Structure 1
């Protein structure tokens, strides 16, 4: 005759982890200035918007 194993009820655990920064907060930077270091105050509206944006 086999001996029965005692039943252990399942349990759910949750952990709250606080980060100083988000996981992806420091992975990308956006530089709004042009090649001269000047920041434009308004969007340029034109017919053609072919330009390189540095990320």
Structure 2
């Protein structure tokens, strides 16, 4: 999993060991609205490392 910079290049990379989803939430969108859609994903895992590129 990576966070990309403005050029589309990885800025930070997360490596997760044996992950699986616990919870997923999505925003209710309205056809006439112009809100930002926010989704969340909660994971369980057995290890996490962060690499700064």
TMscore range, shorter length: under 0.3
Q: Which has the larger radius of gyration?
A: 1
TM-score by length of 1: 0.21
Q: Which one has more relative contact order, counting CA pairs under 8 Å at least 6 apart?
A: 2
TM-score by length of 2: 0.22
